[in-house]
């Protein structure tokens, strides 16, 4: 290829364009969704947040699936599910492969790469599904070299365990399912996730005990969005605030638990005002 002044200027212009905020270099997400006719929601197998029906292949239940469908309906679009992992969901947003990813905690590091609404999506507790013969009451009980703990890699659970149980043998896996499988196979003594997915895992496995180690760690989860699209961030913020305040988020959570064969009364709520 012959390099000319014109091609050099064009190349520099293209490089500069890539560095611009999303809203400045492309149409906004709201406009793109309406044009495309689909609202692309990142999903990963993690009941009660997302759950795929093995018979139909459809992501038919879960808080994220219910909320994504409601937002798609509001936009007059069809929800399109795109399978990702917790670890690569941020990259999927940056690459414009998905429009939204629910159940992503708004850490300072992630805020450098994506945007988050001001309103929290919901609240949950960090818990452990441990072997029946493993004595666990506090995080210190897990902080031992002899204890193998499974966590999803690059998740908030991974970060917390790395900080508060650093002496343990921490086993990192691509997603919730792989971490739970490690516990099921005996490769791990405990799997640390937030409480709701562990309820589903305990129901399916029929083994182990769920413990919320002390001091209990309650925290908010959020919704990750492509960086620079302030109009879309404001729109999503308004939607999740309305769902939360009306109690709809809690209803979707309870429905997702029920769909998975769990009694919602045995699970902690996801509204901070209802936490004890």
Tens place of pLDDT per residue across the chain (276 aa): 333 333 333 333 333 334 444 444 458 999 999 999 999 999 999 888 999 999 999 999 999 999 999 999 999 999 999 999 998 999 999 999 999 999 999 999 999 999 999 999 999 889 999 999 999 999 999 999 999 999 999 888 999 999 999 999 999 999 999 999 999 999 999 999 988 788 878 888 988 998 889 888 888 999 999 999 999 999 999 999 999 999 999 999 999 989 988 888 877 789 888 865
Please report, for residues 57, 73, 81, 139, 194, the alpha-carbon distance to residue 48 in angstroms, rounded to integers and kept in the order given: 16, 21, 16, 24, 11
Handedness of CA 214, 102, 74, 239 (dihedral sign): positive
pLDDT of residue 153: 95
Beta 218-226 vs 100-104: how paired, if at all?
Answer: antiparallel
Q: What angle, rounded to 10 degrees, do the helices at 248-259 and 63-74 form?
A: 130
> Do 153 and 107 share a structural domain?
no
> Do 53 and 161 share a structural domain?
no
Find all residues with CB under 8 Å of 108, minimum gap 6, and list them: none
pLDDT of residue 275: 62
> Do 213 and 86 share a structural domain?
no
Residue 44 sits at φ, ψ, to 5 deg, of -150, 145
Handedness of CA 176, 156, 47, 57 (dihedral sign): negative
pLDDT of residue 264: 85
pLDDT of residue 204: 85
Alpha helices in the chain (DSSP H): 5-18, 22-25, 29-36, 63-74, 89-94, 108-111, 156-164, 176-184, 195-205, 230-246, 248-259
d(CA 43, CA 41): 6
Domain of residue 58, residue span: 26-122+220-270
Nearest-CA neighbor of 127 among 119, 136, 135? 136
pLDDT of residue 22: 47
pLDDT of residue 197: 82
**Residue 3 domain-assigned (yes or no):** no
> Do 197 and 113 share a structural domain?
no
CATH code for position 192: 3.40.190.10
Query: Taking phi first (over 0 means left), then psi (-120 to 50 degrees means alpha), and beta for anything else, what does residue 227 get?
Result: beta
Beta 209-211 vs 100-104: how paired, if at all?
Answer: unpaired
**Residue 9 domain-assigned (yes or no):** no
**Residue 65 domain-assigned (yes or no):** yes
The 8-class DSSP code of residue 272 comes to G
> Do 201 and 128 share a structural domain?
yes
pLDDT of residue 276: 57
pLDDT of residue 66: 98
Tokens linked to 37: 């006719």
> Do 34 and 94 share a structural domain?
yes
Could you tell me if 52 and 204 are in contact, meaning their C-beta atoms sit under 8 angstroms apart?
Answer: no
Q: How many domains are there within the chain?
A: 2
**Residue 174 domain-assigned (yes or no):** yes
Residue 187 sits at φ, ψ, to 5 deg, of -75, -15
Query: Taking phi first (over 0 means left), then psi (-120 to 50 degrees means alpha), and beta for anything else, what does residue 146 get?
Result: alpha
> Do 42 and 116 share a structural domain?
yes
70 in helix, strand or coil? helix
pLDDT of residue 59: 96
């Amino acid at each position: 290829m012959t390099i000319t002044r014109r091609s050099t200027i064009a190349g520099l212009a293209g490089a500069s364009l890539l560095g611009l905020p999303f809203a400045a270099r492309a149409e906004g997400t709201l406009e793109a969704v309406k044009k495309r006719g689909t609202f692309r929601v990142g999903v990963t197998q993690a009941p009660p947040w997302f759950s795929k029906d093995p018979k139909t292949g459809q992501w038919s239940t879960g808080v994220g699936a219910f909320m994504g469908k409601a937002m798609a309906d509001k936009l007059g679009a069809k929800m399109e599910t795109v399978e990702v992992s917790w670890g690569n969901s941020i990259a999927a947003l940056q690459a414009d492969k998905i429009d939204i990813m629910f159940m992503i905690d708004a850490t300072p590091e992630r805020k450098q790469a994506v945007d988050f609404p001001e309103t929290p999506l919901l609240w949950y507790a960090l818990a452990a599904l441990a072997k029946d013969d493993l004595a666990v009451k506090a995080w210190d009980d897990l902080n031992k070299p002899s204890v193998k703990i499974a966590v999803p890699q690059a998740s908030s659970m991974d970060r917390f365990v790395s900080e508060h149980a650093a002496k343990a043998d921490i086993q990192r896996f691509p997603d919730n399912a792989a971490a739970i499988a490690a516990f099921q196979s005996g490769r791990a003594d405990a799997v640390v996730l937030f409480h709701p997915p562990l309820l589903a895992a305990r129901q399916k496995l029929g083994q182990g005990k769920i413990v919320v180690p002390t001091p209990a760690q309650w925290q908010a989860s959020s919704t990750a969005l492509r960086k620079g699209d302030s109009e879309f961030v404001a729109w999503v913020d308004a939607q999740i605030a309305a769902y939360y305040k009306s109690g709809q988020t809690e209803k979707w959570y309870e429905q997702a638990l029920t769909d998975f064969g769990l009694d919602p009364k045995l699970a902690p709520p996801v509204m901070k005002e209802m936490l004890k």
